[in-house]
Amino acid sequence: MCGLLGLLTAGADAADRIEPMARALRCQRHRGPDESGTWNDADVVFGFNRLSIIDVENSHQPLHYADGRYTIVFNGEIYNYLELRAELADRHGATFATEGDTEAIVAAYHHWGPDAVRRLRGMFTFLIWDSQERVLFGARDPFGIKPLFFATGPAGVAFASEKKSLLEIAPALGLGDGTTGDLDAAALQHYLLLQYVPEPATLHRAIRRVESGTYVTVRPGGEIDHERYFVPTFDAPPSGAPTNPHAVAALHGRIADVLRDSVAKHMRADVTVGAFLSGGIDSTAIAALAKEHNPDLITFTTGFEREGYSEVDVAAESAAAIGVRHVVRTVKPDEMMEALPLIVWYLDDPVADPALVPLWFIAREARQHVKVVLSGEGADELFGGYTIYREPLSLAPFEKVPGALRGLLGRASTRLPEGMRGKDLLRRGALSLEQRYYGNARIFRDDQLAGVLRRYDPRRSHTDVTAAHYRDSAAWDPVARMQHVDLFTWLRGDILVKADKMTMANSLELRVPFLDPEVFGVASGLPLSQKITENTTKYALRRALDGIVPAHVLNRRKLGFPVPIRHWLRDEMYAWARDIICDSQADHLVDLLAVQRMLDAHRDGPVDHSRRIWTLLVFLLWHGIFVEQRIRPEIPEPAYPVRL
């Protein structure tokens, strides 16, 4: 895992841009502290920070291929690189100077062109400069596991693994001093609604993201051309769920087989691989399958001392049942408060999921033992694991109610007291799926936003983000449509951002075997009854993992990763939160007095404002770091004494 930089100039000499590129490279040294490399010609400057995982002694980047025609910088891992290298050698006579996966990518591009990205099984962003055709080609993996930011200006276009690196390059692109007076108001409103900034936007108007499943091409002085090569499609068979017991068993067997194969390929590394382990079925399955390849597997979990907010005991029981060495890191509120400004700096854009803070701590702990961890992200989106996916079942009676009467029920819900049981059920039952569902995160409603956000625009809505995905999935069942929306919103906006940023902050590579094209190929064809029932979620996956994961986990209710901020903001964190609000200079964007009133109301109870307060606090810290430049976290040098 690594950090890449690429600058394509527009008529200027690229050599004049080397110094700002060097500063930008230092901003993301945590992504690859093992070595750095730069290269340039008249049009291009490439920079690279390497975390050495495969072919450790070689595969230095930027890497050249075909007698220097191509130069590549690559962040990620290609898990089928051995098979690709063999096919390229056998069919095309390709030769290789290294033993790694980077050269497999550029060789595939040489022989197959842009279609090569469809053959890659892994997580990746990369840039390839073709010095003969004078064209820059870049791509991002199908699910958006690895980030790729870009900025364009009068002097050219730049790409980077970290947005903060592009802020350093901004002056060289003719985009000003690299700070952001030009904050994207729409992106801020969406952040407060969703708890993350939806792709392709960032809070800096001049910086955007290459979307998941997309490749780009650009020539010196030209516009970037974006081409989507992967669209996740949930295509259940028209015949519905298999009823023959042998057919059902075969389906579950295919799930187990493809997941076992994915884990096996995700274990490919020339360094030690561990696994994150919570109390849930997803990470437990990954750890159990990984143990088949590494008898000395180490697993890691984190939690809190407060009862009801920790899966440490369940994870320890699972580790004992699997037979792995287990490491636990307990996080305290004072540690969260101290670490949060640094964590926000690593994030680049605010993400208001409190779970990312303990993730940062366990990643830091894991990096003392291993260089790579496997994790269970993506299982819920692929196999139907979120409890809210059962909502179409609970709201089914509303579908029989005439539209006018449903509207009356919705209006009646607004007259009920906040927090009253049944209020939200009535409100949501009165809405269509497209109106009510915009992903797993629901922070501020529109009416709540209007009282906090200075630049609130009622014309903006979550439908700005979700409408296209609902159009693309119009013929599918409601759960498949929710999964589709989450793959483009919640997964790549929250889940994968926190996974990448918090592990890379600690120079730790995280791999996600569920988010594999072959696994998706099986999961995407599951009928509704194999995903959601009245009693459970991820039905087919649970049946497939029977005998692989311990019995105490197999049918356990999903807890998620709750963080006790509801309690802490009333007690240990109250004064800290108040100071952040009082010190902020973002009152032109957010009504700070309204935020303070919200904090006081939460402290006094009984209304729970904790998630909304946390969302605002993370933004205020972000603004203090990246706009006001008043908050300056001390960035540690990557150093990892290994504990045996």
Q: Where are the alpha helices (DSSP H) in 63-222?
A: 81-92, 102-112, 163-169, 185-194
Cβ-Cβ contacts under 8 Å for 550 (sequence gap 6 or more): 284, 288, 317, 318, 321, 322
Peptide bond just before 341 cis, omega within 30 deg = no
**Is 375 annotated among the ligand-binding residues?**
yes
Q: Is residue 365 within 8 Å of 347, Cβ to Cβ?
A: no
DSSP-assigned letter for residue 532 = -
3-state secondary structure of 124: strand
3-state secondary structure of 195: coil
* Residue of 530, 516, 553 whose CA lies nearest to 232: 516
Peptide bond just before 62 cis, omega within 30 deg = yes
- Alpha-carbon distance values, 333 to 35, 64, 310, 329 (Å): 35, 48, 14, 13
CA distance 82 to 508: 23
Secondary structure element (H or E) that encloses residue 49, with its range:
strand 44-50
* Residue of 520, 560, 411 whose CA lies nearest to 145: 520
Show the CA angle centred on residue 300, arms to residues 298 and 301, nearest 5°.
Answer: 155
Q: Where are the alpha helices (DSSP H) in 244-351?
A: 245-266, 281-291, 312-322, 333-347
Secondary structure element (H or E) that encloses residue 4, with its range:
strand 2-9
CA distance 40 to 109: 20
Cβ-Cβ contacts under 8 Å for 16 (sequence gap 6 or more): none
DSSP-assigned letter for residue 548 = T
Q: Name the E strands within 435-534.
A: 509-511
Q: Is residue 285 within 8 Å of 545, Cβ to Cβ?
A: yes
Secondary structure element (H or E) that encloses residue 372, with its range:
strand 372-374
Q: Is residue 392 within 8 Å of 531, Cβ to Cβ?
A: no
Secondary structure element (H or E) that encloses residue 580, with its range:
helix 574-583
- Alpha-carbon distance values, 145 to 77, 211, 383, 494 (Å): 11, 11, 18, 11
CA distance 340 to 619: 11
Secondary structure element (H or E) that encloses residue 303, with its range:
strand 298-303
582 carries an active-site annotation: no
Task: Count the alpha carbons within 13 Å of 62 in the hemisphere toward its beta carbon.
Answer: 20
Do strands 63-65 and 225-228 pair parallel, antiparallel, or not at all (unpaired)? unpaired
Q: Please name the residue that has the structure tokens 């009928």.
A: 527
**Is 349 annotated among the ligand-binding residues?**
no
Q: Of the residues 1, 2, 504, 512, which is catalytic?
A: 2
Q: Is the dihedral of CA 597, 603, 609, 613 positive or negative?
A: positive
Which residues are paired to 101 by β-bridges?
A: none
Active site positions, annotated: 2
Binding residues: 101, 375-376
Binding residues for L-glutamine: 101
Binding residues for ATP: 375-376
